[in-house]
Structure formats: structure tokens, C-alpha cells
């Protein structure tokens, strides 16, 4: 397994027009899992997240919420997102706000460069704009809703715009983009999303309007201050403005951009073109995840069914929430949130199968072996070794799955060992054996504890708080929890009784 490699992953920058919902927590935790896993591998990992603070939508929200000054509003709301890091145990290395000077300065320089290279020209934009998506649409892509109003394919309302605007020569990149998609099938994942962008580009690229004059909350266009930059041009550049601001572009770029399926077009079509025009490499990969529904219904503010990640965390615990989201729905597909499903995963998988296995082993070692994991690494039987080897093989398997962002199958692989371990423990009946054959009892306890350690080393990426408690309980040295020490034995460690069960079961609703 490679180590010492540079690994850079980003979340989209979140609009600060509202508080965080399950979608924000989902993308951020996905990146956190990958970042943690890469750090455990020994890779030089950089995880970036932050807030998208400009544009008409944010300006309107500030007004609607009674703020006289949009900056005061974004200062307040961006905090909700910044706090998510601590509250959801996100290990991001930086947090960028697009209203920061370091970002604005970079974006204005980039603009100048685009002007100098002839990629931006002035004209007039006439067409449809959806404020909700901060996106331009062609007449042919619109439909009509039940009220007779024109709407975008996303369902967002559109308005006719007619204003002076700067344009980015997107059309110049059509061929080049199609070549990229053709030569690099992993550029956009899953494959269904790649097909989507391919057909979008094949249908013809028009130059993109990249400035607005009808509002002022944005980064000013250099030398033409009536214009503010299009919010997507501004926001996408964060993935480069941050490494540039800390002198790490060479080390970190190209990185991986994780996004939701709704914003693939911006990342897989516009973003590589901006980069090529600015002489940067294109991203290594754009990975698009699916969307959550709530108890079978589309999540929307108007339906009043937005899921507050803080409420879920409060009710089930952070790790149950983190585990559930990545075990319940394959990453890249859509899935459904339900209280019944999270309750079942917490109670059965985390508490019964994983937590309880630890509790039972610990209780027996405390009672029969003076709280010490028995020293019998060299006397294991074939059946013990078979299980330990299976647990050892987990790392390579999970590594392959995490590289593909296949969190779902990664957890299934881990749980196959959890289940094997439970079956082994039950079949071996250490509670009975201890009375007749202490040596065999020792082997069973050693083997079970070793496998729980292997499982927990991997789970550090998914459920960091609980995995840490388990490893503490097994006396695994804090300095020996990286994957470099994966197959290190645990002989003779003291086991400690956890103060309370690692997972608290909940009663189903």
C-alpha cells in the first residue's frame, strides 16, 4: 500500500443562505472518512471545506432575514458551517470563506489573466437565470409547472435577464473536454454522471456569462466595478486559491473534488475549462454522490422535512449517524433516511455485533486472566489463524474500496469480519472452555481481541470516537494505531472496562 503520497480532497463550498442540513453533513463526513483513511495510510493529506458567501441568492437571504449588511449575515451564518467541523469530528485542514481577502485577491488575479489571455470578453447576456441554482439555462431545457410558470430542469424558478455581461469562452473548450472524458473515464464518477456531462457537452457549449450588474454582493471585476463576478467562477476557484495562499499548489494540485449529483455540471464542465484557461491541471477526479430522501419523500424546505444533522446526532450519537449514512446507501446512489433504519443499524450492528463482542471479551479477560490479554500469539491453532489472517486481509480490501469511494462495500467487508468474529466466539464457547482448558481459553481471547483491534483500526476512519474507545480499552498504544502498525500483535495488553457501553441502544420510535 502506498504511503507518503500527497492527497488533496475538497467538499463543495456551502451556501450560507441557511443552516447546515443532512446533505452538507453527508458530503463533509464522506471527505472526512477518506482524509482520515489516507492519514492512517501515512499519506500527506489535505482536506478542505468552507463556505460560498457571494451572489444574489445569499444577498437576498440576508435581506429576507432583516440584515442591513450582507457581510454581517455571512459572518453569522458561515459560523454554523465552521462549527460543523468540531461538532461532527471533521478533520479539515483549512476552512475557506469566499469573502476572505486571500480568496478575493486570487480570484481577481485569475480574472486579469483570463482577460490577458483573451478568454473573457464583454457582451450582453439575454436569457434565463435560476436564482436557486445560481445557474443559466437555455429555453430548450425549460418546462412549465402547474401554475404555468417556466422552470429549470431542477424545478427552480427562472427569470429573464437582460444585462451587460462579461463572457468566458467556454465554447472554445468543447473538443478538449470531450477528449478528456474519452481518455480518462475515471475523471467523473460514477459512470452515469460522466455520461450526463458528455451528452451535455456534445449538445454544444455556449460561452458562459461570468459577471452581473444587477446586484453588488460579489467579487468586483477589476477595472469595471459595476460588475461582480458570477458566483460559480468565484467559488470554484477556492480549490486553488487555498493551496496558492499557503504555497502548496505544487504539492497538492491536482486534487479530488467531491460533490453532490446536482452540481456535477459546474465541476465537470465549467471548472476544468477555467483551469485549462488559467494553465492549471484539471482535477484528478470529480466524484458525485447521491441524495437523501426523508422517510421516502424528497427533502425540501417547502415540505418542511429538512433533516437537521444536529438533531440526529443528538438522538443517536455522532458515530451511529456517521456509520448509518455510509452503510445505508451506496455512495453515488440515492437513499432514504428513516428513524427505523438508523435505529436498527445502531442497535443491531454497532451495539450488539461490535460493541457487545468487546464487552463480552473484556468481561471474560478481567474475570479469568487478571485483566490481561493472554500471551499466546505463537500457539494459535489453524482455526484461530484463519480468522486472524482474514482480519489482516481487511486492510488491503478496504484500501481498494476507499480509493473508489465505495464506503458501503468497505463497511460490508468490515462487518463480514465482525460477524465471523461473533460466530467464532459463540462456537468456541470460551465461558465453558475456561473451566477445562485455560490454554485454549487464552487462544480464543487473544484471537478475538486481535480481530477487534483490526476491525477498529479501520473503523477509526468511519466512527472515530467509538473506535478510539475500543482501542483504548484493548490497551493499544496511541502511537501504534496507524496502518503501518496494522498487523502488530496485542499480546499482554491490559484490557480496561469501558466506563459505559461504547454504544447506547435506542428504543425504536
* Residue in 55, 61, 74, 15 with CA at minimum distance from that of residue 214: 55
Helix axes 22-41, 318-328, angle to 10 degrees: 90
- Identify whether the C-beta of residue 443 lies closer than 8 Å to the C-beta of residue 386: no
Binding mask 219-258 for ligand MSP (x = CB under 6 A): ----------------xx----------------------
Nine cell digits for residue 32: 472526512
CB 228 within 8 A of CB 216: yes
CA distance 281 to 399: 26
Establish if 260 lies at the interface with ligand MSP (CB under 6 A).
yes
Q: How far apart are CA 51 and CA 455, in angstroms?
A: 35
Q: Name which position in 7, 23, 56, 111 contacts ligand MSP (CB under 6 A).
A: 23
Q: Is 151 in the site for ligand MSP (CB under 6 A)?
A: no
For residue 149, the number of C-alpha atoms closer than 13 Å in the C-beta half-sphere is 11
**Which of 7, 8, 26, 217 forms a contact with ligand MSP (CB under 6 A)?**
26
Judged by CB under 6 A, does residue 196 bind ligand MSP? no
Nearer to ligand MSP, 215 or 494 (CB): 215
Closer CB to ligand MSP, residue 24 or residue 104?
Answer: 24
Q: Rounded to the nearest whole angstrom, what is the least distance from the CB of residue 204 to ligand MSP in the complex?
A: 24
Pick one of 208, 259, 275, 428: the residue that binds ligand MSP (CB under 6 A): 259
Query: Which residues are within 8 A (CB) of 183 and not within 5 positions of it... i.e. 6 or more apart?
Result: none
CB of 33 to ligand MSP, least distance (A): 15
CB of 390 to ligand MSP, least distance (A): 34
* Closest listed residue to residue 6, CA positions, set 51, 43, 56: 43
Assess 13 for contact with ligand MSP (CB under 6 A).
yes
Q: Could you say which of 73, 292, 324, 486 contacts ligand MSP (CB under 6 A)?
A: 292
Binding status of residue 374 toward ligand MSP by CB under 6 A:
no
- From 22-30, 70-78, 192-200, 411-419, span contacting ligand MSP (CB under 6 A): 22-30
Backbone torsions φ then ψ of 183, nearest 5 degrees: -80, -15
Q: Pick out residues in 297-326 that bind ligand MSP (CB under 6 A).
A: 299
- Residue nearest ligand MSP, Cβ-based: 260
- Give the C-alpha separation, 263 to 494, whole Å: 50
Q: Classify burial at 297, counting beta carbons within 10 Å of its beta carbon; exposed 0-12, middle 13-18, buried 19 or more.
A: exposed
Residues 31-70 that bind ligand MSP (CB under 6 A): 52
Please tell me the count of residues contacting ligand MSP according to CB under 6 A.
Answer: 18
38 alpha-carbon distance from chain centroid:
13
Interface residues with ligand MSP (CB under 6 A) are: 12-15, 23-24, 26-27, 52, 235-236, 259-260, 262-263, 291-292, 299
Amino acid at each position: 500500500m502506498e504511503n507518503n503520497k500527497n492527497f488533496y480532497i475538497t467538499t463543495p463550498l456551502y451556501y450560507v443562505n441557511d443552516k447546515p442540513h443532512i446533505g452538507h453533513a453527508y458530503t463533509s463526513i464522506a471527505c472526512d472518512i477518506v482524509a482520515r483513511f489516507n492519514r492512517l495510510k501515512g499519506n500527506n493529506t489535505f482536506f478542505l471545506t468552507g463556505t460560498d458567501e457571494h451572489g444574489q441568492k445569499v444577498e437576498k437571504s440576508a435581506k429576507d432575514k432583516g440584515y442591513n449588511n450582507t457581510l454581517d449575515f455571512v459572518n453569522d451564518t458561515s459560523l454554523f458551517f465552521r462549527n460543523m467541523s468540531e461538532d461532527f469530528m471533521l478533520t479539515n485542514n483549512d476552512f475557506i470563506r469566499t469573502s476572505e481577502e486571500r480568496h478575493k485577491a486570487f480570484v481577481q488575479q485569475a480574472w486579469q489573466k483570463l482577460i490577458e489571455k483573451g478568454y473573457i470578453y464583454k457582451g450582453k447576456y439575454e436569457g434565463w437565470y435560476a436564482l436557486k441554482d445560481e445557474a443559466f439555462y437555455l429555453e430548450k431545457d425549460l418546462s412549465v409547472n402547474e401554475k404555468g410558470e417556466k422552470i429549470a430542469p431542477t424545478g427552480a424558478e427562472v427569470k429573464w435577464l437582460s444585462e451587460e455581461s462579461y463572457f468566458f469562452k467556454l465554447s472554445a473548450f468543447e473538443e478538449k473536454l470531450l477528449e478528456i472524458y474519452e481518455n480518462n473515464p475515471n475523471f467523473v464518477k460514477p459512470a452515469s454522471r460522466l455520461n450526463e456531462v458528455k451528452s451535455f457537452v456534445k449538445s454544444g457549449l455556449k460561452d458562459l456569462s461570468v459577471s452581473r450588474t444587477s446586484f453588488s454582493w460579489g467579487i468586483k471585476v477589476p477595472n469595471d466595478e459595476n460588475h461582480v463576478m458570477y458566483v460559480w467562477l468565484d467559488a470554484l476557484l477556492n480549490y486553488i486559491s487555498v493551496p496558492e495562499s499557503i504555497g502548496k499548489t505544487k504539492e497538492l494540485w491536482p486534487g479530488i473534488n467531491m460533490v453532490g449529483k446536482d452540481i456535477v455540471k459546474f465541476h465537470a464542465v465549467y471548472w476544468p475549462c477555467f483551469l485549462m484557461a488559467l494553465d492549471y491541471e484539471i482535477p484528478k477526479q470529480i466524484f458525485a454522490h447521491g441524495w437523501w430522501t426523508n422517510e421516502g419523500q424528497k427533502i425540501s424546505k417547502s415540505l418542511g422535512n429538512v433533516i437537521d444533522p444536529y438533531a440526529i446526532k443528538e438522538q443517536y450519537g455522532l458515530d451511529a449517524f456517521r456509520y448509518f449514512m455510509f452503510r445505508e446507501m451506496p455512495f453515488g446512489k440515492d437513499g432514504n433516511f428513516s428513524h427505523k433504519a438508523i435505529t436498527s443499524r445502531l442497535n443491531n450492528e454497532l451495539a450488539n455485533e461490535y460493541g457487545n463482542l468487546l464487552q463480552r471479551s473484556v468481561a471474560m479477560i478481567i474475570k479469568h486472566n487478571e485483566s490481561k490479554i493472554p500471551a499466546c500469539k505463537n500457539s494459535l491453532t489453524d482455526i484461530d489463524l484463519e480468522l486472524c489472517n482474514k482480519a489482516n486481509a481487511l486492510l488491503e480490501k478496504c484500501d481498494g474500496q476507499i480509493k473508489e469511494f465505495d464506503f458501503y462495500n468497505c463497511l460490508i467487508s468490515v462487518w463480514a469480519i465482525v460477524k465471523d468474529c461473533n460466530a467464532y466466539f459463540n462456537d468456541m464457547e470460551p465461558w465453558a472452555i475456561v473451566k477445562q482448558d485455560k490454554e485454549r481459553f487464552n487462544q480464543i481471547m487473544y484471537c478475538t481481541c486481535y480481530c477487534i483491534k483490526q476491525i477498529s483500526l479501520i473503523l477509526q476512519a468511519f466512527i472515530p470516537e467509538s473506535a478510539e474507545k475500543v482501542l483504548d480499552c484493548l490497551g493499544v498504544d496511541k502511537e501504534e494505531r496507524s496502518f503501518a502498525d496494522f498487523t502488530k500483535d496485542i499480546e499482554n495488553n491490559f484490557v480496561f472496562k469501558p466506563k459505559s457501553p461504547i454504544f447506547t441502544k435506542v428504543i425504536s420510535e
